[in-house]
Amino acid sequence: MQDFIIIGHKAVTTGGFSLNDMPGSAGRMDILCRCINSVFFLSHDLRRDVQAHLLLLGDPNPPRIIRFNGEKLRYLNPDERSAGALIKKALELNNISSLEIRSTPGVWVRQADLRTLLDEFTGDGRKIFYFREDGEDLRNITEGIKDGVFILGDHLGLTEEEENLVLEMSAGTISVGPLSLHADHCIILIHNELDRVMIDQIQR
Amino acid sequence: MQDFIIIGHKAVTTGGFSLNDMPGSAGRMDILCRCINSVFFLSHDLRRDVQAHLLLLGDPNPPRIIRFNGEKLRYLNPDERSAGALIKKALELNNISSLEIRSTPGVWVRQADLRTLLDEFTGDGRKIFYFREDGEDLRNITEGIKDGVFILGDHLGLTEEEENLVLEMSAGTISVGPLSLHADHCIILIHNELDRVMIDQIQR
């Protein structure tokens, strides 16, 4: 299984946002919605063996983590509003605590921060990878990133504090290519690399 | 320069559609919007040496071709509604004919069909590529696809008639990997391959 963590520094932590203004008053929620599309969609199918963890750090109730699980996920369409509606439903729950609760099939929400999430993954022996332009080329380390946990930032990248935490806990930094890309585009490139590894292994 | 042609078989050809219902009453206009994002966006920048041609075949005025040119393009943000608003503005013009007219900076619209568009490209000596799962792996023909014209379908793929036309005029069929992907995801993979070719050439 692959896990993708996407950090939304300004993404609001209330269900009161408008699906008509996700880039504005919802704090660039559109970025997180596009990442959900990239994590899960195949042509006429969903990727099942994958999860997305949205870390929302905007007002008024940060931090919130919304987890999407491909195996259980329902009611997701490819458009931004569809992912936005599932995020909204999760944030609308009024009993959110550090214990995860389910909002819709395949979607859970809780109060938790980046360190908590990374501790859980490293506790399970999972390898964490961080994307940076000066990282190792994805194509050189394909097998090593199988079952990886991938951390991606929003339009603001990662703060210095977050980057220090991630570098301390990560197995390595990765680059997807010569140009700097949006998080949702990086996810497509990671998936493609891993799809190719998977097929190679089946055909061997 | 790369050119991407994306066919929207149900995409409406009137500016009267709602930005709040692009997957529904606008005829999967959301697919075309995501393709516009994939064609143009870099992190904090736009790709300049690239064009997108949306072929809209839905009611009430098909066919329409909307051309986006990266060098001239303005007022485009990454979210689906932003691309949708530019498409809407183009379709709202009331003097659309077979002569291209500009709706906003970097966006033009006209009445034209697939054959007309492909004839123009082949007349200019450009190579046309079509994406199909049984095509040649993108990674094996990287240099050959430079300055290519890439044809992608929406959720319906291409009709038999379109496919026959394209195969007759194309330089080859290409596959982006072992799984069948959405058009906007294929575009990301093409760009990445060409970015790598470009950097290799600079570094040689």
CA distances from B23 to A34, A72, A73, B4, B177 (A): 15, 23, 20, 21, 27
Nearest to A106 by CA among A163, A67, A136: A67
- Strand intervals (E) in B41-181: 41-42, 45-46, 50-56, 64-69, 101-104, 107-110, 128-137, 149-152, 172-175
Contacts with B11 from chain A: Cβ below 8 Å: none
| The predicted structure's pLDDT at residue A100 | 98
DSSP reduced 3-state for A127: coil
Cα B172 to chain center, whole Å?
18
The distance of B123 to chain A (nearest Cα, Å) reads 32
B177 and A185 within 8 Å at the Cβ level: the answer is: no
A36 pLDDT exceeds 80? yes
Furthest CA-CA distance within chain A: 52
Mutate to test the interface with A, among B80, B137, B201, B204 (most CBs of A within 10 A): B80
Name the band, by pLDDT with cuts 50, 70 and 90, for residue A30.
very high
The distance of A120 to chain B (nearest Cα, Å) reads 30
What span, in angstroms and rounded, lies between the C-alpha atoms of B128 and B173? 9
Residues A174-192 have a mean pLDDT of 96
Contacts with B176 from chain A: Cβ below 8 Å: 192
pLDDT, one tens digit per residue, over B80-101 is: 999 999 999 999 999 999 999 9
Compare all CA atoms of chain B with the CA of A80 and give the residue at the minimum distance: B80
- Predicted ipTM of the assembly: 0.96
Please name the residues between 51 and 90 in chain B that touch chain A, using a CB distance below 8 Å. 77-82
A192 and B198 within 8 Å at the Cβ level: the answer is: no
Q: Which residues does B186 contact at the CB level (< 8 Å), separation at least 6?
A: B131, B152, B176
Q: Where are the alpha helices (DSSP H) in B46-113?
A: 80-92
Pairing of the two strands B50-56 and B2-8: parallel
- High-pLDDT (> 70) share of chain B, %: 100
B203 pLDDT exceeds 90? no
Compare all CA atoms of chain A with the CA of B183 and give the residue at the minimum distance: A43
Name the band, by pLDDT with cuts 50, 70 and 90, for residue A142.
confident
The full set of domain ranges for chain B reads: 2-203
| The predicted structure's pLDDT at residue A144 | 81
What span, in angstroms and rounded, lies between the C-alpha atoms of A96 and B176? 42
Cβ contact A81:A132 at 8 Å: no
pLDDT, one tens digit per residue, over B145-162 is: 889 999 999 988 899 999
| The predicted structure's pLDDT at residue A178 | 94
Phi, psi for residue A184 in degrees, rounded to 5:
-65, -30
**Domain spanning A2-203, CATH architecture:** 3-Layer(aba) Sandwich (3.40)
